[in-house]
Structure 1
Amino acid sequence: MIELEQVSKSYTSGFLHRKPASVLSNVSFTIKKGETLGLVGESGSGKSTLGRIMIRLAEPSAGRVLFEGSDLFALRKSALRQLRPRMQIVFQDPDTALDPRLSIGVSVAEPLEIWQRAGRHEMTDRVAGLFAMVGLQPELAGRRPFELSGGQKQRAALARALALEPEFLVLDEPTSALDLSVQAQILSLIQVIRQRMNLTILFISHDLQLIGQMSDRVVVLHQGRVVESGTTQDVLSRPQNSYTARLVDAARESDAWFGKPAQPE
């Protein structure tokens, strides 16, 4: 479904003597329809930049991103607009994803209104259905983000991302800002929704334990380069790269290694 071909990204740094700083270098991999690919690496490895490039929120310096064979960065505006609803992202911090001036119900309804996916009379039912899907109580619709817990806000951000019924979803460290019990509930919820909607997912995390729980295949990113990839079982049980081996050793220290997320409430 998604194919990256030699994707690189550089930024310029400095004031008088501007120099290119490489963030990604010749990254290539594919994501098959219906699978979850885990992208793991330390902070600063280029994971989030790559996730944004994959849905054309950032532009690569070189390389191509193909969505069902179409080069995202060669599409005209009209073709890109038709494709946009099929690709969505859930960010790490829901406080930056939700407008503090809007109620949660209005935020979730906003994509439906912009893309004219529901009429005025249908909108209430559509939003209620999205709330139910992510486990939000209906009475929260009138509240603003600051009135919700971290887990509730991330559920709202997920509901907003799912409003247009996307096929490809980028999850950029979606639980790193949550405590462990809430984190487990959100991860379990994502698994249920993935199966229900047959989603294709890029799951970004620095935590190999979470990658092991959530992913079918794994790509390990180190200093902007892919150093290892393969099935989750192969990569986590028989790492071939020394950097991957260090990540695995650190993750194995957890009692929950290869454990399953708790069931959602």
Structure 2
Amino acid sequence: MRHCAAMLCALLLIASNNEALAGDGKLLGTAGLIQVEGSGGGGIVPWATLAGYDTQDQVSVNAVMTQVDLDDYRLNVMGVSASFYDRIEISAAHQRFDLKQLGGDIRQNIFGVKYRLYGDAVYSRLPQVSIGLQHKRLEDGAIAELLGADSSSNGTDYYIAATKIHLGAVAGFNAVWNVTARATKANQLGLLGFGGAENNDYEVMLEASAGILLSRSVAIGAEYRQKPDNLGLGEDDWVDYFVSYIPNKHVALTLAWAELGSMAGAQDQNGLYLSINGQLW
């Protein structure tokens, strides 16, 4: 938690020294949300879009609080991010994974960087394309080590994402899609360590999102995230179905139904996803 607080202070200091702060440049809703690892995107998938509404001469600073309440577990996330001049995003997130049945928790810190390579999600003919990484550090790797993870301390994911928003494409409503390819060794986001007896090499996992903006403020959609099964515990792919309310550029509320399948041997882990995103500047 203190790592995120330190990052927030640094981002606020950077923002306070910039005259041009985000707010007016991009269309409402086109910045997306902040996902469970702290990167700009959907709920469980990082997108090519950056976390804020900044244009090429602006800076934005954002914060997120998310909870995913499952049958046997609960994931709490606090994060901060900043995007600079519609080109680069940095982020930090703290995850606490509560073991509701067994007691105790697993904590992880994630530090991310994303760089926009090409395009604009709305205005360019081809999709916006970005590359990024998420470096993950477990605070206590005892459970990961017990389950046979090759690394119970840290690991890094690398991804490339493409995002496109089509104005008026579906019965006059705006539509958005995203496809992400992630190279990863992470078990359950890294909460159960990295690599394992079944596989210890990077694998490329597919992630995707699709949604429709029913109005300027309401979006609905679904996401899919493929997962590796390095520990041989039957780690399932993730799916969620979401509705987001974005009344203005300062706040966004998202409610989703998450189907996360088997987690550490516990089957059919389904539950509610609730996230509050705020643009500070």
TM-score between both structures, scaled by the size of structure 1: 0.28
Q: Which structure has the higher relative contact order (CA within 8 Å, separation 6+)?
A: 1
More strand by share: 2
Q: Which has the larger radius of gyration?
A: 1
TM-score of the two chains, using structure 2 as the length reference:
0.27
Greater helix share, structure number: 1
